[in-house]
Amino acid sequence: MSFTVAVVNATPASMRPATDGLGQGFPEAAAWHLMDDRLVTEADAAGGMTPALTRRMLALIDYAVRGGADAVLLSCSMYGPAAELARRLHNVPVTGSDEAMFADVAQRRPGKVLVLGSLDSAAADSARRLQRVVEGVEVKGVAAPGAAAAAAVRDWPALVDALARAAEPSLGLAELVLLGQYSISPVHAELADRLGVPVLSPPLMAARALREALV
């Protein structure tokens, strides 16, 4: 049996990681990519999601469901709260980019977690939302200068370097490192080797969660 997973993207750099995650974690699914490349820049400029941006995301989710998607995956971490709203409106699985990853952290109950992002606002948002989900865990969000540019041109060695440079001063006793954006996730294995701690990949974990919901 085959499935269609609509992936709502806010940057072209998240499309390939989402497709690769589905290929590995949900091979029965085909990705259908939708794009609004102003979602991140406008949210960043506004300091976070606004009601107007939330409505725009909900409209994209509605378009995907009406178009026949069996599930919807939001690849932009900043729009995770819109997934919860969409689940009240639609009878297909809708998941934010990092919900499955956060659930895994909640099961592990580490003492300290480091969340890496490509932007200050994105890293802070991911850390704040994780802290609400997992009580009693120390969470720190750190932005990695140069990560977005490296990811955009798929320069994986440069991306690993940028993420490692950002992480190392704050690593301390961190038991887990989380990658906050899909665009920086392709190097999770290489970064884990570099840092010596587990690094979680949100696209793969989201794909596995959707498979569990549908298969």
Q: What is the mean pLDDT of residues 42-53?
A: 88
What is the signed CA dihedral for 104, 78, 164, 23, rounded to 10 degrees? Answer: 60
Query: Across the chain, what does the average pLDDT equal?
Result: 94
Q: Please, are residues 197 and 171 in contact by the beta-carbon 8 Å criterion? A: yes
Q: What is the rounded CA–CA span in Å between residue 140 and residue 87?
A: 29
How far is the C-alpha of 156 from the C-alpha of 160, rounded, in Å? 6
d(CA 33, CA 31): 6
Quick check: 89 and 210 in contact, CB under 8 A? Answer: no
Q: Is the pTM of this model over 0.75?
A: yes
Strands (E), 23-164: 29-35, 71-74, 94-95, 112-117, 138-143
Rounded CA separation 121/88 (Å) = 27
**The two structure tokens encoding residue 58:** 């909900």
Cα(198)–Cα(184) distance, integer angstroms: 15
Task: Look at 79 and 47; give whichever has higher pLDDT.
Answer: 79
pLDDT value of position 172? 86
CATH fold match for the domains 3-97+204-214 and 99-202: yes
Residues 6 or more apart whose CB falls under 8 angstroms from that of 51 comprise none
99-202 is classed in which CATH architecture? Answer: 3-Layer(aba) Sandwich (3.40)
119: CB partners within 8 A, 6+ apart: 40, 44, 143, 148
Q: What is the pLDDT of residue 125?
A: 85
Express each pLDDT in 95-116 by its tens digit.
999 999 999 999 998 999 999 9
User: Domain 3-97+204-214 adopts which CATH fold?
Assistant: Rossmann fold (3.40.50)
Asked if residue 90 lies in contact with residue 60, where contact means CB atoms within 8 angstroms, the answer is: no
Q: Please tell me the distance from the alpha carbon of residue 73 to that of residue 133, in angstroms, as a whole number.
A: 19
Per residue in 160-180, pLDDT tens? 999 999 999 999 889 999 999
Domain chopping of the chain, boundaries: 3-97+204-214, 99-202
Long-range CB pairs of 65-71 (<8 Å, 24+ gap) are: 65/6, 65/90, 65/92, 67/6, 67/32, 68/4, 69/4, 69/5, 69/6, 69/32, 70/3, 70/4, 70/5, 70/29, 70/214, 71/3, 71/4, 71/5, 71/6, 71/29, 71/95, 71/210, 71/213, 71/214
